[in-house]
Chains A and B, each alone.
Chain A
Amino acid sequence: MIEFFIAYRPVFDIALLHAGLAYSQYIVLRAGAFSVAVPGLAAIGAYAAAILAMRHGLHPLAAVLTGSLLGMAVSLVLALPLARLRGVYQAIASLAFVQIVLSLNLFAQDLTGGAMGLTGIPKLVHTTELAIALVVVLYVMFAIDATRAGRAFDAIRQDEAVAASLGISVTGYQMLAFAVSGAIAGLFGALEAFHGYALEPNQFGFGLLITVLTYVVFGGRRTVLGPLVGTAILVALPELARPLQDNRLLVYGLLMMAVIAFMPQGVYDTLKAAWHRRRMARGASP
């Protein structure tokens, strides 16, 4: 068991990192905003934390927290123009933001190391630290789910006009979602900086965006556990499918298509809804 864990520890760490970023994506989707800014926000957290710790001698914990706060601040600023857009236009504008951050990281060579990136970052973050961070994020997600902010998010996502007619400030709550999303992205970006020895701009590009979005859509975008289930399955799958060698990507692709066709709400959300329906049906016929 322990040997298994040691062998798969790098995979497990990646699952924890990506699960954190998946929640950053999840919370804006839950509030009815189709923003995909997560990689850009994570890049800001990662670079800020690494630069502050390495060049300015900031304590790594303070650097991580600063990265998180900076992610939150940038996300709030980004929310202002995005509040005027809806749906796919919001997605395109936030994608542009990700590209802008990527370009700035490439051009600001003196600060970020450009295409070479930053190297020699001390490795201070291990499985334990990542797990603690994810538990904190899960706690916040469950807290939101069980209280007024979660109810307001759900109402806005399903019908903005109805939500507003009930006195819910759509802009206000979406700002809250962006703030939480930015703080989580900044936090996990900063953790990634102290986890992987080096940072380079393309780590936080289109590939990460698709990965994170896929985890949320695959697992489920309404329930709290959906993104975690999605991340767990999709990180574990390529490892389990190792014997298939070159056919791994084919299996991965087929599975994605099957889930999208037959479980459009995501694996976890669909199963949960089915279980709920069965329970209701039993309750209705005594």
Chain B
Amino acid sequence: MTTLVLDDVTKRFGGVVAAEALRLEVPPGRITGLIGPNGAGKTTVVNLITGMLPLTSGAIRFGEQELTHAAAHEVGRAGVARTFQNIRLLPEASVLANVMIGFHRHERASLAASVLGLPEARHETRALREEAMALLERFGMQRYAEHPAGALSYGHQRRVEMMRALATRPKLLLLDEPVAGMNDVEAGELGTLFRSLAAEGMAVLLIEHNVRFVTSICAYVYVLDGGRLIAEGPPNKIVADPAVIAAYLGA
């Protein structure tokens, strides 16, 4: 069981403070929310956690692992998966290939075996293909397996991105506005999926500005405004917090 801890994390871009002394915890087995108005610094937090941006100061730990200065691929290997706010698929690759690449951190065949085409590398590829097909079936996408991912509709692309993240078998899943542009039914379906993932013991951090969606599925919520945490607590407490209401309504 692995908890993500941000300890006094600060990020400055020149004189602009994008994140100021953030302290937050994302424990396994529940969905933790991170909300805030546009420009609050939510995506910056995801980029700091995933090693895509270096911290100015502070520390990030994931269970026993120190991720403060980890490179992006090291964070991925540690079991942290993410989805992107503006979906980012491999557009030329097939849906199946997009999902298969998610298994990368579990591949054991050596690079020499891959370059020489040894049986161990070929068998592993075959096994991953089957595993990816099983995942496609779970999401009702098997008939799109060979389609180029870039040609799919928006909703289907979101699903491919989600499958790719799950293929990494993450311990921590970072979701950057996963229901943006979806109707209530689709959002509800995804909400159910997230809850079941958390129930299986995954740590989930949900970044959203749709307050209604966050409060409906999160166990604990952090509120970010101008790079600072202005409130935290269970959802019912958050929606009644005067500072949160002020930040959202600008009052």
Total count of chain A residues near the partner, CB < 8 A: 32
Q: Does B168 contact A (CB under 8 A)?
A: yes
What CA separation (Å) do A152 and B102 show in the bound complex? Answer: 10
Complex interface: stretch among A74-82, A156-164, A188-196 = A156-164
List of B residues within 8 angstroms of A151 by Cβ: 97, 100-101, 104
Of B90, B124, B146, B168, which contacts A158 at CB under 8 A?
B90
Contact A165 B50 (CB under 8 A): yes
Instruction: Check B115–A162 contact: CB distance below 8 A.
Output: no
Separation of A280 and B104 alpha carbons in the complex (Å) = 27
Within 8 A of B (CB), among A155-183: 155, 158-159, 161-170, 176, 180
Cα(A222)–Cα(B111), bound, Å = 20
Could you tell me if A168 and B92 are in contact, using CB atoms closer than 8 angstroms?
no
A149 close to B (CB within 8 Å): yes
- Neighbour of A166 across the interface among B52, B91, B168, CB < 8 A: B168
**Interface locus among B76-84, B209-217, B226-234, B241-249:** B76-84
The size bracket of the interface on B is 35 or more
Chain B 65-85: CB-based contact to A (< 8 A → 1; otherwise 0)? 000000111111100011010
Contacts of A107 in B (CB 8 A): none
- Residues of B153-186 at the interface with A, using a CB-CB cut-off of 8 Å, are 164, 168
Known: A148-B109, A154-B97, A170-B73. A162 touches B121 (CB 8 A): no
- Neighbouring B residues of A144 by C-beta, 8 Å: 114-115, 117
Contact of B81 with A165 in the complex, beta carbons under 8 Å: yes
Q: Does B237 contact A (CB under 8 A)?
A: no
Q: Which residues of A contact B125 (CB under 8 A)?
A: 146-148
A284 to B76, CA, bound (A): 36
Q: At the interface, yes or no: B134 with Cβ under 8 Å from chain A?
A: no
B72 touching A176, Cβ below 8 Å: no
A97, B164: Cα distance in complex, Å: 39
A142 near B: Cβ within 8 Å? Answer: yes
| Alpha-carbon gap, A166 to B51, bound state (A) | 12
Partner of A147, one of B74, B90, B121, B143: B121
Query: Are the CB atoms of B122 and A147 closer together than 8 Å?
Result: yes
Expressed in whole angstroms, the minimum distance between the Cβ of A158 and any Cβ of chain B is 4
- CA of A123 to CA of B89 in the docked complex: distance in angstroms? 51
Interface of A is mostly: helix
A229-262: which have CB < 8 Å to B? none
Assess the B76–A165 pair: CB atoms within 8 A. Answer: yes
| A interface footprint on B105-135 (CB within 8 Å = 1, 0 otherwise) | 1010101011111000110110000000000
Q: How many A-B residue pairs have CB under 8 A?
A: 111
Decide if B115 touches A164 in the complex (CB within 8 Å).
Answer: no
Complex interface: chain A residues within 8 A of B168 (CB): 166-167
Pair B146/A139 contact, Cβ less than 8 Å: no
A155 & B117 in contact (Cβ 8 Å cutoff): no
Chain B CB within 8 A of A140 CB: yes
In the complex the two chains form, what is the Cα distance from A161 to B77 in whole Å?
A: 14
B199 touches A (CB below 8 Å): no
If A148-B124, A165-B81 touch, does A140 touch B117 (CB 8 Å cutoff)? Answer: yes
B147 at interface (Cβ–Cβ under 8 A)? yes
A147-B117 in contact (CB<8A): yes
Q: How far is the CA of A163 from the CA of B105 in the complex (A)?
A: 11
Interchain CB contact under 8 A, A166 and B164: yes
* CB-based contact B111/A159 at 8 Å: no
In the assembled complex, how far is the CB of residue B151 from the closest CB belonging to chain A, in whole angstroms? 9
Would A168 and B76 count as touching, CB distance under 8 A? Answer: yes
Residue A210 lies at the interface, judged by CB distance under 8 Å to chain B: no
Chain B residues, CB < 8 A from A158: 90-93
A146 and B76: CB pair below 8 A? Answer: no
Q: Which residues of A contact B (CB under 8 A)?
A: 139-140, 142-144, 146-152, 154-155, 158-159, 161-170, 176, 180, 222, 276, 280, 284
Which are the 8 A-B pairs with shortest beta-carbon distances?
Answer: A143-B117, A167-B76, A164-B72, A167-B105, A147-B114, A147-B121, A167-B77, A149-B114
Besides A148-B111, A154-B92, 19 more A-B contacts (Cβ < 8 Å) are: A142-B117, A143-B114, A143-B117, A146-B125, A147-B121, A147-B124, A148-B109, A148-B114, A148-B121, A151-B97, A151-B100, A151-B101, A161-B52, A162-B90, A164-B72, A166-B104, A168-B76, A169-B71, A170-B73
Q: List 10 A-B contacts (CB under 8 A).
A: A140-B116, A143-B121, A144-B115, A147-B121, A158-B90, A164-B76, A165-B72, A166-B104, A168-B73, A276-B146
